[in-house]
Amino acid sequence: MDRIKIIEVKESIFADNDAEANRIRQALKKDKTFLMNLMSSPGSGKTTTLIRTIDALKDHIRIGVMEADIDSAVDAEKIAETGIPSIQLHTGGMCHLDAGMTEQGLKEIGYENFDLVVLENVGNLVCPAEFDTGAVKNVMILSVPEGHDKPLKYPLIFTVCDALIINKIDVLPYFDFDLDKVKEYAHMRNPKLEIFPISAKTGEGMEAWTDWLKTQVMEWNGND
Amino acid sequence: MHEMGLMDAVLRMVDRIRREQQLGPVRKITLEVGELSGVVPRFLEECYEAVAAGTPFEGTELALEIVPGLARCEDCRSEFRPAGDVLRCPACSGEKLTPIAGKDMTIKEIEVFDPEEQ
């Protein structure tokens, strides 16, 4: 008869991923590279916001982009037009990136040659929030047409983010979107969350956002 | 599907523990799943079979132990067990809720065949 042995584990299912993410952050710190994990729903204007952000910062800092969006052949072409190096990551059919996949991407792009590497995560508000990628800061884009109740429906992503960009504020008059409510709901989940209402289309609010990002990059890389 | 990535993480972690501790073949994995962890237990079971297929975990057993969720209303300070997708306090209809238990997903234990007896 087979003998059965019980091994007590009692560890979070995220324990291994979190340990790897912490190793990535240490390597980034040592090599003076800032990794930003950008998350959002599909259609929130993530790529357009990213292109505007790159345009504002590319003369000051060296930027690289890692694309993980599922339909990102189009996105990758748009990023390529900015003249910024970008690579495509493969999630192996998963709905998120974990620390292991991010590490492979960082090696492939040669992260130590950049001040800022942007990880454009899979367009989804659930899975990417659960897996720490090793990013220094997590940023989420919420767009006006998605509605102001998202912090109530997807609480986790708001708790793991450092900054929330509210995009498409140019269409506020046409939607039943309460900007104060979304700020209140989001701060309820995460009192430290920085909130930047912007329009990537008109450029409104972009300066406050890119100034914040630049300051974060400089502080992390130790050249502030 | 959300649960697919979670089960993939579970199997990789169990495989790492098995290698490190030089354990025999796995028979059963027991997970503790919090009611507020945002996963659907039935989907976990389905994804487990899919992720385990074609690996040494194929045919192993998955046991799920549900950990009750508990939330606190920040307005009236009452504590309650949230049901379904209700996002309001049953006492005062407050919306400022803080999850205080049942948020996590944990690998509780693994059962292996003892290699010496094989």
The answer to the question of residue A148 being in a domain is: yes
pLDDT reported for residue B56: 92
Q: Give SS3 for B26.
A: strand
Q: What is the DSSP annotation of chain A?
A: ---EEEEEEEEETTHHHHHHHHHHHHHHHHTT-EEEEEEE-TTSSHHHHHHHHHHHHTTTS-EEEEE--TTTHHHHHHHHTTT--EEE---TT-SS--HHHHHHHHHHHTGGG-SEEEEE--S-SSHHHHS--S-SEEEEEEEGGG-TTHHHHSHHHHHH-SEEEEE-GGGGGGS---HHHHHHHHHHH-TT-EEEE--TTT-TTHHHHHHHHHHHHHHHHT--
- Contact (CB<8Å) A152/B95: yes
Tell me the residues of A at the B interface, defined by beta carbons under 8 Å apart.
1-17, 94-96, 98, 126-127, 130-131, 152-153, 155-156, 185, 188
The boundaries of the domain holding residue A141 are 15-215
Cβ-based contacts of B116 with chain A (< 8 Å)? 3
A12 vs B14, B24, B106: nearest CB? B106
Which CATH number does the domain housing residue A57 bear?
3.40.50.300
Of the candidates B10, B108, B114, the beta carbon closest to that of A4 is on B114
Distance of alpha carbon A43 from alpha carbon A52, whole angstroms: 16
Average confidence (pLDDT) over A54-76:
83
What are the tens digits of pLDDT across the range A163-202? 999 999 999 999 999 999 999 988 988 889 999 999 999 9
Beta-carbon separation of B114 and A5 below 8 A: yes
Q: How far is A131 from chain B (nearest CA, A)?
A: 9
Instruction: Give the pLDDT confidence of B86-110 residue by residue, as tens digits.
Output: 678 899 988 778 888 998 999 999 9
Distance from CA of A94 to the nearest CA of B (A): 6
What pLDDT does B67 receive?
94
d(CA B7, CA B15): 12
H helix intervals, B29-115: 41-52
Please name the residues in contact with A43: beta carbons below 8 A apart, sequence gap of 6 or more: A123, A143
Tens of pLDDT, residue by residue over B11-66, are: 999 999 999 999 999 999 999 999 888 888 999 999 999 999 999 999 999 999 99
What count of CB pairs under 8 Å joins A to B? 93
CA dihedral A222, A55, A21, A124 (to 10 degrees): 150
Closest residue of chain B to A157, computed from CA coordinates = B38
Distance CA A213, CA A221 (A): 12
Q: What distance in Å separates residue A147's CA from the closest CA in chain B?
A: 16
Contact between chains at A10 and B13 (C-beta distance less than 8 A): no
Instruction: Dump pLDDT digits (tens) for A88-98.
Output: 887 776 778 89
The CATH code of the domain at B2-68+102-117 is: 3.30.2320.50
Rounded to whole angstroms, how far apart are CA atoms A41 and A123? 5
Partners of residue B26 in chain A, C-beta under 8 Å: none
Enter the tokens of residue B18: 């098995």
The reported pLDDT for the residue numbered A129 is 85
* Number of folded domains that form chain A: 1
Compute CA distances B82 → A135, A186, B34, B87, whole Å: 32, 20, 12, 8
**Closest to A17 (Cβ–Cβ): which among B9, B99, B108?**
B9
Any domain includes A1:
no
Task: Judge: B9–A98 Cβ closer than 8 Å, yes or no.
Answer: yes
Query: Measured between CB atoms, which of B4, B17, B116 is closest to A94?
Result: B4
pLDDT exceeding 70 applies to what percent of chain B? Answer: 93
Q: Is residue A4 part of a domain?
A: no
Residue A46 belongs to a domain: yes
Task: Return the residue in B65, B85, B95, B118 with the most chain A beta carbons within 10 A, the one to mutate for interface testing.
Answer: B95
Amino acid found at A78: K
Share of chain A above pLDDT 70, in %: 95
Which stretch of DSSP H or E encloses residue B9?
helix B2-20
d(Cα B105, Cα B107) in Å, to the nearest integer? Answer: 7
* Domain contains A2: no
